[in-house]
Structure 1
Amino acid sequence: MKPEAHNTGKKHAGRITLLSVLMVTVLLISFIIILPVVVYMRENKLLEKQKSQIDSLTTVSAAESMRDAAETLHALRFEDARLKAQIQLTRLDSIYLFINLVDSFVAIQIRGVTLRESKLSEFYVSSIFEHKRQSADIYEWMATPFVAHHSWSSFVKHPFKLKNAPKDTLEALQMKQDIMQPEPIDGYCRILFDRSILVKMNQIEKPSFDGRLLKLKYDFAFFYDMTKELLNALIHLESPPLRLTIDLHLPQNDIISMYRALPYNCSMTLVF
């Protein structure tokens, strides 16, 4: 072999050895220094992200807890105000109206004792009620019973019958005894309470022909009074009252019995 070829082979072998050493060195540096740094940076970034999420969840949880506590306190104060009004009614010797929209029933009571109760088939309330419930003066608004100012009905509140009085006992014995016939009436009524609450009671039964005519007369009387009130407010440059309406639907007999049992200036307590 020539000396030049031998030297060239040694040079190639030396280069290969050097490259191998450099590659091993680079790999060692990568595994020992660079890779741990990259892993650390990734883990640190992940930890920061998790910490941020935990802080966010903690903030949201704290806000939700405060909101839940505020809602619970509001509900307790609201119920306390309502119970104060109901306690005042139990001290009166008078029949009053009790409307429970949470359990969907209406009743007449005296001193806390239920005289008659009726399940509501359906009911509607003004959207203003929800705004009123969240108002600052709701506790004072609920703390006293509502008192009726005016009422309308499609039937006579206190029915009566005129009879000729007998002159003596003999004539009284000879008079024919009248048999009371069932009253063919339909049941619709409205009661206007203070604080601008209007309670409407509508029968769930289909009205009779006579009942429709009486209802038209009853509706006309109501709208006439409301129009007169509106015009009076406009004349005196006052804002017309904003009615908080409760529209109840229940059996005819319950409407008639309850309305007739209530005094003209009846009181009311409300759960909503």
Structure 2
Amino acid sequence: MAGNRKAFKANPATRRAYRIAFLIPVLAAVFLSVLLPLLSDPWEESGDPVPSVQARIAASIAEGFLENCLTLSRSDSLCLIVDLVDSLAWISIRGVPVREFPVTRIRLSPAVAGGIRSGSAVRWISGPFAGQKTWSTISRTILHVKKAPRDTLEARRNLREPRIPVEKADVYLIMEYDRNLVLEIMQTERAGLPGILRRELIRSGHHLTRSWRETRRLFSGRLPRHALWIRIGIGRDDARALRRALPKRPGLAVRLPAQEDPGKE
């Protein structure tokens, strides 16, 4: 035993071989326990991943949309809610949907699409939009709230009142709101020649009116405003009901899609 120890001390090659054999498992343990974990993300499994910029913009838009709906629900007036994410719109009063209708066509102006990508649209939709003026191919009928008749005599008198005939013309709406929003509503059904002529007449009249308005702003020393328009397509009957039901200056809440595409047809 003592001879082997003296031989081990006397032979450097043997000592080197033993040291290498001892260091190999030590280095392997250090690599597996210290160096290898550094190659992975320490926060990868500690919770949910950090959302992207577009995800944060979409969350802010959705939050603002819900707040606007809550604000409009405090009003006694009918309002319009447009959800471009779920392709759905509805007429609401006191937060209760009166009539829902699908949105089959969506188109955003390049300025609105750019605002969504940059996140500036979040501030633009902060608060419900207030209606200012509406152009339409059909006339608006004022709604009358009637109470139930107390007896048969009163019911018979109500039958003698003239009924409003149902209009079957093609529907096209241009609704102006504050913050330079222009909501354009078109029917999805193919319009006839009279409907096309009325639509182009309404569109040209709105364009000339807005151009003259912005020209006057320029002459008064103020910069002209850029129109931020949203174009949606709904059914003819839904568009007609929307025109009949909404007040002269309806409130509006819009949920914008968090996407780079200006729209879909």
Q: TM-score of the superposition, structure 2-length normalised? A: 0.68
Which amino acid in the other structure matches residue 49 of structure 1? L
Equivalent residue for 2:116? Answer: 130
**Is the contact between residue 202 and residue 248 of structure 1 (CA under 8 Å) also seen in structure 2?**
yes
2:130 aligned residue: 147
Deviation at 1:146, TM superposition (A): 1.5
Q: Which runs of 5+ in 1 are unaligned?
A: 1-20, 160-177
One of 203, 218, 225 as aligned partner of 2:209: 225
How many angstroms does 1:86 deviate by?
Answer: 2.9
Q: How does 1:18-167 map to 2 (within 5 A)?
A: 25=11, 28-37=14-23, 40-41=26-27, 44=30, 48-54=34-40, 57-58=41-42, 65=49, 67=51, 75=59, 79=63, 81-125=64-108, 126-131=112-117, 133=119, 137=123, 141-143=125-127, 145-158=128-141
How far 1:147 sits from its partner (Å)? 1.0
Unaligned stretches of 5+ residues in structure 2: 1-6, 143-161, 257-265
Task: Letter of the 1:153 partner, please give it.
Answer: S
Q: Are 1:129 and 1:244, in contact at CA under 8 Å, matched by a contact in 2?
A: no
Q: Which has the larger radius of gyration?
A: 1
Range with bigger deviation, 82-91 or 196-205? 82-91
Identity across matched positions, percent: 19
Matched, 1:196 2:189: no
Matched, 1:215 2:199: yes
Q: Please identify which structure carries the higher helix content.
A: 1
Question: Residue 61 of structure 2 contacts residue 122 of structure 2 at CA under 8 Å; is this kept in 1?
Answer: no
Provide the C-alpha distance between the structure 2 equivalents of 1:73 and 1:197, rounded to a whole number of angstroms.
20
Cα displacement (A) at 1:245? 2.2
CA RMSD of aligned residues (A): 3.8
Cα deviation digits, residues 20-56 of structure 1 (max 9, x gap):
x99x9465234202343466456545655314224xx
Deviation at 1:151, TM superposition (A): 1.4
Say if 1:209 and 1:226 are closer, same or farther in 2 by CA, change over 3 A: same
| Higher-RCO chain (CA-CA 8 Å, sequence separation at least 6) | 2
Shift of 1:197: 1.7
Per the alignment, residue 250 of structure 2 pairs with 266
Q: CA deviation at 1:203?
A: 1.0
Kindly indicate whether the alpha-carbon contact (under 8 Å) linking 2:60 and 2:122 is maintained by their aligned counterparts in 1.
Answer: no
Q: How many angstroms does 1:123 deviate by?
A: 1.4
Measured after TM superposition, the shift of residue 250 of structure 1 is 0.8
Paired position in structure 2 for 1:169: none
